[in-house]
Amino acid sequence: MARPAAKELTERELEVMHVFWNRGESTVAEVREAMAAGGLDRAYTTIATLVRILADKRFLIQTNQERPFTYRPARSYEEVSRKLLGELLDRVFRGSRELLLVRLMEQRSLTAKERALLGDVLRQPEKRR
């Protein structure tokens, strides 16, 4: 019996999504070229398969009916990254933002730019959900 398709993004699917988030509407060939230019040289058929899977998972939308097909992101980077971070927080840190922050700071020191951005975020009024 085949394993059911994962709803989450795999690492390779996420690589493809980053290209779409950076470029917007693109063909498989354009995505492959952009990835190759960035050092990720994948076969055209591999990228085509990943794009089909992303469309099936509703992360991409096909925008035309003639070849070459073009696709655009159905979900924004912000939406997907928030969801993935929330899942990481729940699964790995059992919901502890404090522990997540501690582990993050253990990785490396903040740059001056990162400190300034963090200060700006902390000074903003808290958003209610």
Domain ranges of the chain: 1-93
Q: What is the mean pLDDT of residues 67-78?
A: 97
Q: What is the mean pLDDT of residues 102-109?
A: 90
Tracing tokens 């992303």 back to the chain, one arrives at 54
Angstrom distance (rounded) from CA 64 to CA 27: 10
pTM score, whole prediction: 0.83
pLDDT digits (tens, 9 = 90+) for 14-59: 999 999 999 999 999 999 999 999 999 999 999 999 999 999 999 9
β partners of residue 73? 60
Q: What angle do CA 123, 90, 118 make, to 5 degrees?
A: 20
pLDDT over 80 (residue 88): yes
The domain 1-93: what is its CATH number? 1.10.10.10
Q: Across the chain, what does the average pLDDT equal?
A: 93
